[in-house]
C-alpha cells in the first residue's frame, strides 16, 4: 500500500529532493503494478532474500526505498519466513550496495514502532531502548542497527523511519490486529458497519497514508550530516484514544455515521493492545522537518480527500 502510494506521488511530482526523476525501478515478489509517469518505470519480480537477487537488482540508483516486509502477524506465525525476508532480505540488499565500488546511495528503510516493547513510559522518547516483543519488531530493530553501521562505515547513506500505525488505511478491512483503528472510521464513512473490539480508552499513535509517504520522501531528501550516527527515527504522529477517534468522526461526519460502530469486545485483542505504544516524543524527527497531521480530524479529512474524492458518499 505504502509502495503504491509512494510511486503515485513520485509520478505526480516528477521530482525527488528537487531533482527530476529519470527512472524508477519497482521490485516486488509479485509483478508490481506499473504506473503512468513522466519518467521511465521498470518493474522487476524478485526475492531479495535469495542469493544473488539483490546484486542483480541494484543498478546504482541514487535513492533506494526499502519498504518490503513480511507483516507482523505472519512474521510471528512463520518464524523462518519472517527472518528470511525481513532480516536476510534486507541484509542482502545492504550487502549488494556495500560491495559496489564508488557507490553510496541514500537508503530509506521503513521501520516500525514495533521495535518498542513493554514496559515503556506513557511517552516514549528518542533515547528509549528498542526491546521488541514480536519477531517482526526484532527484525526491524536488527535492520536499524545494520543500517546505522553500514552508514557509519561509509557503505551507504541510510535513514530509517519508524512509521506510526497508518490510519485511515484504504481498501477492504484486513485481518491485521491493528485493522480496527482504520475500520471504525473507513467503514462507517462508506455507510457500512464496523466492529470495535477494544475499550474506548485504548490510546495509540497514528498518521495518514499521505503523511507516511511524506515521511518516506523527506527521508530521501534530508542531509545525512544533520542526522549524525543514529540513523533511525521515530516519526511524528497523532496520539488519540479510540474514544477520541470516534468523537473526531462525529465532528466530521455526524451522529448517524458514528452509530455504525458496533462494540464487540475481544479480550485477547484488548490484552495484546495493552503492549502497544501509546505516545511518542519525536523531537529529533520534528527538528529534522518530518511532519504528521496535528489532529485525528485532519487524518479523517485526508482519507475523505484522498480516497473518497473529497466528500462522504
Positions that interact with a second copy (CB under 8 A): 79, 117, 126-133, 135, 138, 141-142, 145-146, 148-149, 152-153, 229-230
Is residue 136 annotated as part of the catalytic site, yes or no? yes
Would you say 41 or 104 has its CB closer to a second copy? 104
* CA distance linking residue 221 with residue 119, whole number of Å: 34
Q: Which of 12, 83, 103, 136 is catalytic?
A: 136
Residue 34 in 3-state DSSP? coil
Q: Give alpha helix (H) positions in 153-240.
A: 179-189, 209-221, 224-227
Question: In the bound complex, what is the minimum distance in angstroms from residue 80's beta carbon to a second copy?
Answer: 9
CA distances from 272 to 41, 111, 173, 176 (A): 41, 20, 19, 12
Question: In the bound complex, what is the minimum distance in angstroms from residue 149's beta carbon to a second copy?
Answer: 4
* Residue positions counted in the chain: 313
Question: In the bound complex, what is the minimum distance in angstroms from residue 147's beta carbon to a second copy?
Answer: 10
Would you say 69 or 189 has its CB closer to a second copy? 69
Q: Which residues of 103-135 are buried (b: 16+ CB within 10 A; e: fewer)?
A: ebbbbbbbbbbbbbbeebeeebeeebebebebb
Residue 306 in 3-state DSSP? helix
Would you say 138 or 207 has its CB closer to a second copy? 138
Question: In the bound complex, what is the minimum distance in angstroms from residue 134's beta carbon to a second copy?
Answer: 8
Would you say 17 or 275 has its CB closer to a second copy? 275
Just list the catalytic residues: 136
Amino acid at each position: 500500500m505504502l509502495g503504491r502510494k509512494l510511486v503515485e506521488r513520485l509520478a505526480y511530482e516528477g521530482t525527488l529532493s528537487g531533482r527530476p526523476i529519470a527512472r524508477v525501478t519497482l521490485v516486488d515478489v509479485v509483478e508490481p503494478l506499473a504506473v503512468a509517469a513522466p519518467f521511465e518505470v521498470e518493474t522487476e519480480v524478485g526475492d531479495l532474500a535469495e542469493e544473488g537477487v539483490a546484486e542483480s537488482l541494484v543498478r546504482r540508483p541514487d535513492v533506494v526505498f526499502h519498504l518490503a516486509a513480511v507483516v507482523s502477524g505472519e512474521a510471528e506465525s512463520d518464524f523462518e519466513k519472517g527472518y528470511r525476508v525481513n532480516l536476510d532480505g534486507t541484509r542482502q540488499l545492504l550487502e549488494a550496495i556495500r560491495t559496489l565500488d564508488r557507490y553510496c546511495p541514500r537508503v530509506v528503510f521503513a521501520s516500525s514502532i514495533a521495535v518498542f516493547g513493554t514496559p515503556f513510559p506513557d511517552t516514549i522518547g528518542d533515547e528509549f531502548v528498542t526491546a521488541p516483543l514480536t519477531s517482526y519488531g526484532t527484525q526491524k530493530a536488527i535492520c536499524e542497527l545494520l543500517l546505522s553501521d553500514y552508514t557509519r562505515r561509509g557503505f551507504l547513506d541510510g535513514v530509517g523511519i519508524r512509521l506510526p500505525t497508518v490510519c485511515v488505511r484504504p481498501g477492504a478491512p484486513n485481518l491485521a490486529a491493528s485493522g480496527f483503528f482504520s475500520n471504525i472510521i473507513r467503514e462507517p464513512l462508506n455507510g457500512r458497519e464496523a466492529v470495535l473490539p477494544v475499550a474506548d480508552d485504548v490510546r495509540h499513535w497514528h498518521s495518514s497514508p499521505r503523511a507516511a509517504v511524506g515521511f518516506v520522501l523527506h527521508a530521501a531528501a534530508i542531509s545525512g550530516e544533520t542526522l549524525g550516527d543514529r540513523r533511525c527515527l521515530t516519526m511524528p504522529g497523532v496520539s488519540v484514544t479510540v474514544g477520541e477517534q470516534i468523537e473526531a468522526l462525529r465532528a466530521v461526519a455526524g451522529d448517524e455515521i458514528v452509530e455504525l460502530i458496533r462494540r464487540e469486545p475481544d479480550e485477547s485483542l484488548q490484552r495484546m493492545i495493552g503492549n502497544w505504544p501509546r505516545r511518542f516524543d519525536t523531537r529529533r524527527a520534528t527538528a529534522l522537518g518530518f511532519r504528521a497531521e496535528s489532529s485525528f480530524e485532519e487524518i479523517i479529512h485526508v482519507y475523505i480527500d484522498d480516497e473518497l474524492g473529497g466528500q462522504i458518499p
